[in-house]
A and B are shown apart, each in its own frame.
Chain A
Amino acid sequence: MTTSSPAESLTNRQQFWRGVRGVLPILLGVFPFGMIYGALARQSGISVPAAQAMSSIVFAGSAQFITTQLVRLATPGIMIVLTIAVVNLRHALYSASIAGFVQNLPSHWKLILAYLLTDEAYAVAITNYNREGAQGNQHWFFLGAGLGLWSCWQLSTFMGIFLGTLIPPHWPLDFALPLTFIALVVPNLKDSAATTAALVGGIVAILTFSLPYRLGLIVAALAGILAGLWMEKTP
């Protein structure tokens, strides 16, 4: 994803751009996803300003997708809010996972980095933290990765809103999402405990798919984490 380099010798600006470069390959998968969101939002009758604003106010791909579907089905607002909250529950796990690396930062940094904590930015930032540690100015890397992704999401939303109808419907652009996650997960399956966590999480996700509000997502994630812990204890 990135080339490792001695952290202490890099300026804040260099760390920031290293973060941008770290997230760059992933943007290939994020861009088409953002365009599809923009197009779907317009098809669901969401106004241009609201469709664009959702990408910075909610700033969470899968929750925004589901919102467009629920708006199309004229779902009551409170149900949509509840669904967004449940679909994004997994971000609490990301927050817990990355908290130890940002605990000494001032509050305004914590607020900004929390806002930028999407699936993709998290994966890139945690990989860097695991390699470089939390010392020095690694938070500038996180900021670079997060803002790189944010900019791509706003731009691709904009393109989707205005050009989305030009995308031929048989183009499977939504497949970019699982491909991006495969590229993020598979190279990091370095031991049997991590692999077990991934397999159990995935299998339970299939078994619990029919649960309402995509609750299966969080149930399966917890099952995977517990399986990883158990595997680590019994080698």
Chain B
Amino acid sequence: MNLWMVMLAGGLLTFLTRLSFIWLFDRLTLPRLFRRALRFVPPAVLSVIIFQELLIRDGSLFLSISNARLLAGILAMGVAWRTRNTLLTIIVGMAALLFLQIFIS
């Protein structure tokens, strides 16, 4: 299978995944429990990616005071909580990581 075929198949499956419930929603009635669960989709899914990015290094757990990404990430969480400012969160987090990298490595 060449790369173009892989991209087309992967892209089509991604599109159908994104379309799935949007397309089916008014054609089937979803259970109430299911509807209540939907509110937890953003915090659950996005924090899965956050935790993996901050705590996994080269395929294994890196829970340590010398994990610069973890420290910078926790600082960014504090900034996001206090200010609710997206831009400031990204800038402070990135600056913190650059700063910590100099001292840790």
Footprint of B on A, CB under 8 Å?
A: 1, 25-26, 28-29, 46, 50, 53-54, 57-60, 62-63, 67, 71, 76-78, 80-81, 84-85, 88-100, 102-104, 110-111, 113-115, 117, 119, 122-123, 126, 170, 172, 175-189, 193-195, 197-206, 209-210, 217, 220-226, 228-229, 232
Contact = CB atoms under 8 A, between A and B. Distances in A.
A138 B48 CA distance: 28
Top 10 A-B residue pairs of the complex, sorted by shortest distance between their CB atoms:
A77-B1, A224-B44, A202-B51, A228-B40, A84-B10, A99-B25, A25-B86, A178-B53, A186-B80, A114-B19
A76 B28 CA distance: 37
Contact of B43 (A94, A119, A189): A189
Nearest to A95: B21
Given A57-B11, A95-B18, A114-B23, A184 B86 contact: yes
B65 interface: no
A182 B93 contact: yes
A41 B51 CA distance: 25
A29 B76 CA distance: 13
Contacts of B17: 85, 88-89, 91-92, 95
